[in-house]
Amino acid sequence: RMSEAGWQDDNRFACSLARTRAAAGYGPLWIRSELTAHGLAGAAVEQAFASLAESGDDDWTARARDLVHRRHGPPGQLSLALQRKASDLLLRRGFSGETVRAAIRSLPGD
């Protein structure tokens, strides 16, 4: 097996994938689901989230706010339709409802 030969390390893979997905604008629900879909053990998944926390990359509200800013430009006056569109995007990307509300509420114009 590749892992026995030292060519594959599940913890390193999980941490790397989690970091990559978080940087790309995916939330914790999406990341956890993807890691599980790769057949990684619970310990590797938890290690990946611990690694994100350790590096300060687990501020999900800030990441959600960032994604809305990147997708919709500088947040000015957000219409109700734009708020709904941003909320849908964040939910699809794996952010919790609480995080979505906090991110949308914290945008200027609310």
Q: pLDDT band at 76, cuts 50/70/90? A: low
Predicted confidence band of residue 74 (pLDDT cuts 50, 70, 90): low
In whole angstroms, give the CA distance from residue 105 to residue 61. Answer: 10
* pTM (predicted TM-score): 0.85
> Which pLDDT does position 42 carry in this prediction?
94
pLDDT digits (tens, 9 = 90+) for 23-59: 999 999 999 999 999 999 999 999 999 999 999 999 9
Torsion, Cα 17 19 23 26, to 10 degrees, reads 60
Q: What are phi and psi of 102, to 5 degrees?
A: -65, -40
Per cent of the chain over pLDDT 90 is: 68
